[in-house]
Amino acid sequence: MKNIAIFASGTGSNFIAIHDAILDKELDVNIKVLISDKPHSIAVKNAELRNINTFTFNPKEYKNKQEFELEIINHLNNVDLIVLAGYMRIIGPTLLNKFKNKILNIHPSLLPKYKGMDAVGQALKDNATLTGVTVHYVDSGMDTGLIIDQESLMIYPNETRESLEKRIHQVEHKLYKKVIKKVIEELS
Ligand code: GRF
């Protein structure tokens, strides 16, 4: 069975959706480790509750990105695919070179629209009527890697951020497991 590592720093709802899909036997992978730069995040708490190995670190305790990425790599033995799920850092060359075309990210917009931070806020500010979710391979840019799959979502008139975020998360949870399944099958 292939091993994945999930990188998460927030609430980890995507991590939970992926783990639930594994428990429900929809997804045939093993979560080897959850990596986080936020030791006190809800994602880490949930990983511990679910008996998933974790490695957490404080970036401020390292000289630079290369140093903490080297340490992360020590925790990625036998990992076939990295799944970013709310890890809010640009991946540096140390990890990118070691996991070439083996890092996925999920982003809450129809890329290439609304790259970077607060994509939901950007769409609302723009009065967009359509947004969505993208899963893509990670390259050295910010949300610029090859797109694997996307799903669109209407933005309703007078929609609140809260309701849009909720609907985006629902789409993310379905789309990510579908793409992970496809990518893992291609690796086999
Ligand atoms: C998601 O909206 C994802 O698109 C973005 O970060 C958020 C993570 O959410 N990259 P969660 O922590 O999985 O709930």
pLDDT in tens, 21-54: 999 999 999 999 999 999 999 999 999 999 999 9
The arithmetic mean of pLDDT across residues 92-102, rounded, is 97
Please enumerate in sequence order all residues whose Cβ is within 8 A of that of 97, keeping only pairs 6 or more positions apart, or say none. Answer: none
Of 106, 136, 149, 174, which is best to mutate to test ligand 1, by the most ligand atoms within 8 angstroms of its C-beta? 106
Nearest CA to ligand 1 atom 9: 86
The arithmetic mean of pLDDT across residues 72-90, rounded, is 97
What average pLDDT is seen over the chain? 97
Of 169, 170, 174, 180, which is best to mutate to test ligand 1, by the most ligand atoms within 8 angstroms of its C-beta? 169
Q: Which amino acid is at 170?
A: Q
Distance (angstroms) between ligand 1 centre and the Cα of 129 equals 21
- What pTM was estimated for this model as a whole? 0.97
The arithmetic mean of pLDDT across residues 6-33, rounded, is 98
With cut-offs at 50, 70 and 90, classify the pLDDT of residue 188.
confident
Please enumerate in sequence order all residues whose Cβ is within 8 A of that of 83, keeping only pairs 6 or more positions apart, or say none. Answer: 4, 5, 6, 7, 18, 104, 176, 180
Predicted local distance difference test score (pLDDT) of residue 79? 98
With cut-offs at 50, 70 and 90, classify the pLDDT of residue 3.
very high
